[in-house]
Structure 1
């Protein structure tokens, strides 16, 4: 299931620069060049007081005077035998530089040195949220969540307003990156109560809109969209202002107003191109292409999707690539260039899979973090209970040692019996669940459980306005296989059919045996064109089955019927009936083929 594109995903590195480092216009040298430049700085020995003042000065001007910042940290790095506090302060500032040039591993070591030292709590807090900034672009979500937890726990002890705000902003950015938008809004409410600078106010507003956009809590006429654009423009933050403009354009498209979308975003296209941020430009032209596609303008759709592909040629952002290749596939198909359409569809399928795997990694990391939190609470509760038990045992031991030992033995026996009983109960429950939900022969859903799961999928797709398709097929002349070679051979044929189709299906497809040799494949978030390709792939895979393993030589083919919610609506019975009617046409037209549901064609076939 595809999520809404999060523009902010493309500017994690930009956020690091604004919040922690220095202006984008400065070009730092690599860590290796840093060592060379050290040789050119005056090697005079400075007093502790001078070093302290210089580090404070570097920290103060790390944004407004990057040249001075660089010169100072290079100079201080040459000083020997620095006191621990000053050495850790230097490590922090140097880590900012290393993060900017992409030396994440070295920067991580520097920041961990600060955390494991006796530096001040504020310095450690800054090192902690700097680590979060390292883990975001590296997509190390599990470590990032660990640092976010430490960051949140430390917030009540931080009285420096600038770094308190930075720590909260990083937390909000991280949760938005993880797709945990409700959590992000909680911390947005907390930060909104602070006295924010114009720049931080712009960031907070943009992050708020990002969370609301992905939670479907925005409409194109929401006043906060224009308010945020004005605020970010006044703060000279053109990147965030244009990110919000893309949100508004997408909302126009979601509300089926492509003309308004184009009229709005095209007036800012040149300004967006001048930012020279590839991912912002690629996302903008992708959205413009979608608007033209909604209007049926194939030529302009192709122009802008081609530009998006050129800008995002290295697939820096997978989700943008998914949108681009799917549009190019639709354009090629519309122009009846089917070989090109197939190539684009293959690329679309490949990067969509990679994007979904990335989203699963985020979800898994978040689940692991929740599990660890629950486990830690359980351990604390267990320790409390053990302490209470120990006190009780000590009090009772003086008078009733024998009784206590007997009671503990009884409890141990009861616990063992309970564990054995509970284990058998779980095993029985698992077996009953399998019998209730899965077909015993093929291992896919049975009809009853399919109805329940399919209904949930239909309701979700309907509420989120997503496509959904349904494929129904049954094996041709299957009774003849049973009558000629026996039911064991027929069972083999059914299992071989399912195995062939499973290799083609996506993980979120709903595959079920409706009865006998009749099967159904429900495809959430899948339009009719893709469903037809999937059905044709299944048909070819079934036809290619080699039956030698069964001990007999015979052929297996199937007749397919395909429909979707556009043709049949969001009613499961209607979808099944229409797909069955289309499959009936396939049977009457010679079998071993795919037929798409069409009312006139079905009536003609029945007559």
Structure 2
């Protein structure tokens, strides 16, 4: 087995020559315990990374003198270093060789945890979450405290990437509680604070960040301390204190570069670019933005890359370089879409694997029940009439179990159908579902001979909100808009998000006056300053109203007429309500005299 293991790991040498070739010719010193040396290198691989690389390179030159267990440990550390350097594709087969060839269960567990991390980085999310399920199921059997900490940490980080922030924080808390007495809980603290921060449970100014940074520095874990500082800096920038964030980032940037961890380097450079842009230092912003793009892992779309590309676009636009700004904008939009698609893919992969695990367990339960039935049937045959009632009861149990399984499966299918018909951010109808519901509603109202009104509205200058406050703030604005609208929507109304910041409301059994009045009530509510909550951005909206009494009962025509009215509202100054013009012009468009209800509030401007 050991020979086959060594052959499978032959590929490791090709990817570790870089640090083998640069190391001194020294090998194991007389009396040196290779097991202890490997354990020390393993424990300090992030706190003293240069020394770790020297140790791995030195032991790599003396492989024939190592035992099988020591060689397996060395190969694991070599694979870890390949992944740390960003060569994930090469690290996967190296780790799989350790998992398949080592006889040490603890080492196989650790290699699996590292492999899960790499699969996640490599966008193989479904495979990563499948392996994570197996890893967490085996956690109770893991006795080695460091391996247990690694498994809990990997679970917490993968769940954070899938948007399961509360569950991730629970795993990180278990990691902290499992830290042996006398050891630092730095890594668990970082993972917990990062999950809470990404889930908007805490802000970057939370004092726990300062405590966590101090604890990590005391433990010599400067890499993790700087990862915590990245979250603090991001929160500080978003809070409007960019100069303070820039000072902290520049102070620790050399240490981050020295640790040679590509993703953290790119994150620091992206934050420096954003911070300098907000302080008005365009040259520095461009310098760090270029550096962030260059240090990003090839082929990866990440949030730091998207922020850096947006900074380069804004800088080129300010210089008046139209061609460069267009190129940077195109790359930014591609990176931003790629990053958001990746976030969605992670969340979907988690849900798919969760559903598969649930179904597998239900099937296992069903099979177990069937085995029990077979056993009891033998008892029935032996006892005959005495056990006949029990036999019937067991059959009913089987049917109930199968029925429950079918009901749960059907519920899962219905849930996925609802997800497909709802906007993922706001929970209201998406465009396709809105069209279907509105069409059906118009058909029903037509039978009663009553009019209906269609309201279209679009948020004014919403792109400026995203550019100024960020996409997270933009999402909170959209959620607030939907919440305000719900206060003015009646039972039977159809409400949906038709595009990025465009919404539609169909009011059945409402004439033009009622529709315009309702639109103005919503406009007034949206124009009011935000009353607390996570969103501080102030937005207004422009409205277009079209009624079936003027334009017919075809949804396409109502949408077109309402859209024309909406753009007239935009052209007339925004933050106003416009009524769709009749097909045959009267003396003029619907005037204030002809429509007393269309009061001056409908034409309110900024």
TM-score, length of structure 1 as denominator length: 0.59
- Shift in alpha-carbon separation, 1:154–1:350, aligned structure 2, 3 A: same
Q: For residue 244 of structure 2, what is the aligned residue in structure 1?
A: 263
The Cα offsets for residues 556-579 of structure 1, whole Å up to 9 and x where unpaired, read as 994433889xx99xxxxxxxxx55
Q: How far, CA to CA, are the matches of 2:481 and 2:200 in structure 1?
A: 27
Q: State the SS of the aligned residue for 1:133.
A: helix
Q: Is the 8 A contact 1:289 1:304 kept in 2?
A: yes
The Cα offsets for residues 452-476 of structure 1, whole Å up to 9 and x where unpaired, read as 9x9xxxxx999974357999xxxxx
The Cα offsets for residues 42-85 of structure 1, whole Å up to 9 and x where unpaired, read as 99xx9xxx999645543444545543432323432698xx86x6
Q: How far, CA to CA, are the matches of 1:130 and 1:106 in structure 2?
A: 13
Q: For residue 602 of structure 1, what is the aligned residue in structure 2?
A: 603
Q: State the SS of the aligned residue for 1:313.
A: helix
Q: How does 1:39-118 map to 2 (within 5 A)?
A: 54=34, 57-62=37-42, 63=45, 64=51, 66-76=53-63, 88-89=72-73, 91-100=75-84, 104=88, 107-117=91-101
Q: State the SS of the aligned residue for 1:216.
A: coil
Give ranges in structure 2 of 5+ residues lacking alignment. Answer: 1-11, 46-50, 258-263, 422-427, 443-452, 458-470, 483-496, 527-534, 544-560, 590-599
Q: For residue 179 of structure 1, what is the aligned residue in structure 2?
A: 163
Q: CA deviation at 1:231?
A: 2.3
Q: How far, CA to CA, are the matches of 1:389 and 1:107 in structure 2?
A: 48
- Does residue 120 (structure 1) correspond to residue 104 (structure 2)? The answer is yes
Q: For residue 272 of structure 1, what is the aligned residue in structure 2?
A: 253
Q: How far, CA to CA, are the matches of 1:563 and 1:248 in structure 2?
A: 42
- Does residue 233 (structure 1) correspond to residue 222 (structure 2)? The answer is no
Q: How does 1:24-423 map to 2 (within 5 A)?
A: 30-31=14-15, 33=17, 54=34, 57-62=37-42, 63=45, 64=51, 66-76=53-63, 88-89=72-73, 91-100=75-84, 104=88, 107-117=91-101, 119-195=103-179, 200-219=184-203, 221-254=205-238, 256=239, 258=240, 260-263=241-244, 265-273=246-254, 275-276=256-257, 278-289=265-276, 291-292=278-279, 299-300=280-281, 302-314=282-294, 316=297, 317-326=301-310, 344-397=328-381, 399=384
The Cα offsets for residues 483-504 of structure 1, whole Å up to 9 and x where unpaired, read as xxxxxxxxxxxxxxxxxx98xx
Q: For residue 560 of structure 1, what is the aligned residue in structure 2?
A: 566
Q: How far, CA to CA, are the matches of 2:360 and 2:188 in structure 1?
A: 32
Aligned residues: 477
Q: State the SS of the aligned residue for 1:387.
A: helix
- Shift in alpha-carbon separation, 1:198–1:178, aligned structure 2, 3 A: farther
Q: CA deviation at 1:512?
A: 6.3
Q: How far, CA to CA, are the matches of 2:318 and 2:507 in structure 1?
A: 35
Q: CA deviation at 1:41?
A: 8.6
Give ranges in structure 1 of 5+ residues lacking alignment. Answer: 1-27, 293-298, 455-459, 472-500, 536-554, 569-577, 592-598
Q: How far, CA to CA, are the matches of 2:190 and 2:118 in structure 1?
A: 22
The Cα offsets for residues 183-212 of structure 1, whole Å up to 9 and x where unpaired, read as 221122212223458885332222222112
Q: Is the 8 A contact 2:233 2:248 kept in 1?
A: no
Q: CA deviation at 1:175?
A: 2.5
- Does residue 466 (structure 1) correspond to residue 477 (structure 2)? The answer is yes
Q: Is the 8 A contact 1:288 1:304 kept in 2?
A: no
Q: State the SS of the aligned residue for 1:561.
A: helix
- Does residue 581 (structure 1) correspond to residue 578 (structure 2)? The answer is yes
Q: State the SS of the aligned residue for 2:269.
A: helix
Q: How far, CA to CA, are the matches of 1:346 and 1:530 in structure 2?
A: 28
Q: How far, CA to CA, are the matches of 1:230 and 1:146 in structure 2?
A: 36
Q: How far, CA to CA, are the matches of 1:136 and 1:183 in structure 2?
A: 18
- Shift in alpha-carbon separation, 1:462–1:445, aligned structure 2, 3 A: farther
- Shift in alpha-carbon separation, 1:306–1:467, aligned structure 2, 3 A: farther
Q: How far, CA to CA, are the matches of 1:291 and 1:129 in structure 2?
A: 39
